[in-house]
Structure 1
Amino acid sequence: MEPAQRSWFAWISAGLGLSALLGVLCFHFPELLTSRDFRAVYSEQFARQLLLAGLVVAFLLGTLAILRNRNKRVALVGVGSAALAVLLGGATVHFDSIESTPFSLGLDWFVISLFFSALVFIPIERMLPVRPMSPLRHEWRTDLAYFFMSHVLVQFLLIAVTASTSTVAAFAAFPALKAAIQSLPVWLQFLIAVFVADLAQALLHRAYHNIPWLWRFHAVHHSSRRMDWLAGSRIHLVEIVLTRSAVLLPLVVLGFSAEAINGYVILVGVQAVLAHANLRMDFGWLEYVLVTPRYHHWHHARHADYVDVNYAIHLPLVDMLMGTFRRPPRGQWPEEYGVMKLETVPRGVWAQGLMPFSPRKAYADYVGGNGAAADHGGQGSPSSGASNQ
């Protein structure tokens, strides 16, 4: 019988073993499984060393968990995956020069991003949590699946977004404005790009909350009942394409440099994860300057007073200009997260993906069902009189 107590050694082994196996597959099929743009960020030697470290740790921790008779099935997944990775060549796989292909999957982006995000945020969230909870909390598999899809499909999403923005941008020409922006130093272009992009996404974000057919896509993101670094990944693929197109379009039209746009992309990747993190920190006056976890947590609050506020993901100034800025009293955090009408969002990746196209208005198996009160410490729900959140 499996021990009732969870073994972190077993789960870490399983995570690293499976990641190592995916990494070996990336070495075998780099043209198909790795992102061309992301390959330029890291070296082959770095990838091999990271893969080797993952294999060693997966074997050691998995073996220790098995010897201690703790979560043996999970530990065997880690050891077995690592063993298969070694049989497939491990960190010694050789490959020829990578040929150009029109499409590829960002499996390397998924593995490396997951590894470092977990390495940074899991310890921080354990030390300074808003609510103490395990990283393997309720519905973590759902959010990991979203993390997987958004990262692995990154190349397809970038192609779709680039095609849509470039097509529209071709009809817009502002040579004088472009020349003025391009004459600015890169650091100033970056700051302006952050403001422009955040304003564009905040306007679309507010439309998600106020236009019913758009809300059905965005409700997937707000259906998370737990907030942590992984919860921010729960985004419908249609919303990803719409939002990225709306954000990149003004940057392309206005002619910002590639360096400024790349800087913005890095910032949004970091801050979007941070804003959802289960991180209780008092940022004080900085909450008026940058979007912090507490600021964005209240946007996800299952509370009627916060249905239509705090749309920015970078700059609270954007919400101030839109009239949607609300800073809760210092030290206060939401009692509960999620959409106001829980039964309108089903449980699970596939059901949520189909939800916006379904005529159904309620689901028997929905987020927060089957013991939601236990998930949230038995806290009472605020009034669910509002339709959107």
Structure 2
Amino acid sequence: MVADMAAPRSWTAHIAALLGLSSLLGVLCFHFPALLTSREFRQVYTEGFARGLLLVGLVAAFALGTLAILRGRDRRVALVGVGAATLAVLGGGARVGFTDIGDSPWSLGLDWFVVSLFFSALVFVPIERLLGRIPQSPLRPEWRTDLAYFFVGHVGIQFILIAVTAWTAGVASLAAFPPLQAAIQSLPLWVQFLLAVFCADLAQALLHRGYHRWGPLWRFHAVHHSSRHLDWLAGSRMHLVEILLTRAMVLLPLVLLGFAPAAINAYVILVGLQAVVAHANLGLRFGWLEYVLVLPRYHHWHHARRADYVDANYAIHLPLVDMLMGTFRLPRDGSWPEEYGVMEAGSVPTGIWRQHLAPFLPRRGSAAAQAQEPGDQQQQR
């Protein structure tokens, strides 16, 4: 058993399992499109694209799974992939039929999860292997936890949007200022987009600083900072309460100011892309661009396990926002943090369920651990 634990994990087996399970989920999406697929995301892709992606996933799952089994590496994991792909074929495979999509008061974003995971992994796994600052495997510690967060965040996207949209629309109806909205809507769309990015990032940065300064909010945000290994998947680790609060408070000024839907949608796309890039394990130097856009080294310093960086780099898009807030910090020597995570290691439990429950439970640990929680005067110095 010791030898098995010490043996390196097989990428081939794990990719086969990922593709096999994703293919099975894809077939289920065809069988129950009204319940399992997002209405908004269905407008982005075609049926032919979905079937082609499903076919690629099935073929690759069988091929890679069989190869891993023959090599004797992580056979159980490989069998999961082959077995899931077999069930997907029995369920109709790439030729699975489906009826017209009816109306449903709610639906899961299972299609959004499958497509996003496939292309994110396809792009960032090889990039991080070639250009990574730290030579770490995608199967690094706690990758399953972050994959679970990725799943929950994508599958539950419609519920999140419904809650956030309802709240912001209600507040906007009470506090709207038509002359200002008309002035903003008269601007070219690209100008609206740039202004939306700045306004949203300022709102996000102020709230973000609140997470770090006020103990009750920090307990939710600490989940995000508990990751000791940063990569493209680590940014998905966010407590559901933080997701709802952040999206609501960031979207509110955009709705109040009356930005065009196209500008807001473009900003939402930027958020998704930059959140992945900012956490990615990329060791590239971008020179002067690091002072214009939030890139990996800038945000990695925000995650640094160092007392002198607990109140720095809150922006997610524009370092200018931190400069205005007086929280901009970036070493000029090009250095990177040596460690990531919360100051008191072990103060946040492991696993998605325990991490979601932890903020609601009485604080545990030593007095020293509690004294290091943001919001206390000792930590803020």
Classify the TM-score, shorter chain.
Answer: over 0.9
2 CA distance for matches of 1:64 and 1:307?
Answer: 47
1 CA distance for matches of 2:104 and 2:286?
Answer: 45
Please report how far the alpha carbon of residue 7 of structure 1 lies from its aligned counterpart in structure 2 after TM superposition.
2.1
- Of 187, 190, 195, which residue of structure 2 is paired with 1:192? 195
1:21-66 CA distance string (max 9 Å, x none): 0111111111111111111111111000000000001001111111
- Superposition pairs for residues 1-389 of structure 1, below 5 Å? 4-362=7-365, 386-388=372-374
Tell whether the 8 Å contact from 1:300 to 1:338 is kept in structure 2 after alignment: yes
1 CA distance for matches of 2:246 and 2:105?
Answer: 23
2 CA distance for matches of 1:342 and 1:31?
Answer: 44
1 CA distance for matches of 2:41 and 2:145?
Answer: 25
2 CA distance for matches of 1:191 and 1:277?
Answer: 24
2 CA distance for matches of 1:5 and 1:348?
Answer: 22
2 CA distance for matches of 1:387 and 1:344?
Answer: 10
Tell whether the 8 Å contact from 2:65 to 2:78 is kept in structure 1 after alignment: yes
Tell whether the 8 Å contact from 2:285 to 2:334 is kept in structure 1 after alignment: yes
Alpha-carbon RMSD across the aligned residues, in angstroms, is: 1.5
TM-score, normalised via structure 2 length: 0.95
Secondary structure, in 3 states, of the residue corresponding to 2:97? Answer: coil
The range that moved more, 195-204 or 343-352, is 343-352
Please report how far the alpha carbon of residue 384 of structure 1 lies from its aligned counterpart in structure 2 after TM superposition.
11
How many residues are treated as equivalent by the alignment? 370
The range that moved more, 4-13 or 345-354, is 4-13
2 CA distance for matches of 1:235 and 1:319?
Answer: 22
1 CA distance for matches of 2:207 and 2:281?
Answer: 26
Gaps of 5+ in 1: 364-382
The range that moved more, 67-76 or 203-212, is 67-76
2 CA distance for matches of 1:362 and 1:386?
Answer: 11
Tell whether the 8 Å contact from 1:340 to 1:385 is kept in structure 2 after alignment: no
Gaps of 5+ in 2: none
2 CA distance for matches of 1:25 and 1:55?
Answer: 14
1:185-234 CA distance string (max 9 Å, x none): 11111000000000000000000000110000000000000000000000
The range that moved more, 166-175 or 268-277, is 166-175
Query: 1:376 matched to which residue of 2?
Result: none
1 CA distance for matches of 2:347 and 2:67?
Answer: 44
Residue type of the alignment partner of 1:387: E
Tell whether the 8 Å contact from 2:37 to 2:111 is kept in structure 1 after alignment: yes
Please report how far the alpha carbon of residue 10 of structure 1 lies from its aligned counterpart in structure 2 after TM superposition.
1.1
Tell whether the 8 Å contact from 2:215 to 2:373 is kept in structure 1 after alignment: no
Please report how far the alpha carbon of residue 344 of structure 1 lies from its aligned counterpart in structure 2 after TM superposition.
1.9
2 CA distance for matches of 1:17 and 1:254?
Answer: 45
Please report how far the alpha carbon of residue 94 of structure 1 lies from its aligned counterpart in structure 2 after TM superposition.
1.3
Residue type of the alignment partner of 2:180: L
Please report how far the alpha carbon of residue 385 of structure 1 lies from its aligned counterpart in structure 2 after TM superposition.
7.3
2 CA distance for matches of 1:171 and 1:341?
Answer: 43
Please report how far the alpha carbon of residue 337 of structure 1 lies from its aligned counterpart in structure 2 after TM superposition.
0.4
2 CA distance for matches of 1:329 and 1:288?
Answer: 11
Secondary structure, in 3 states, of the residue corresponding to 1:314? Answer: coil
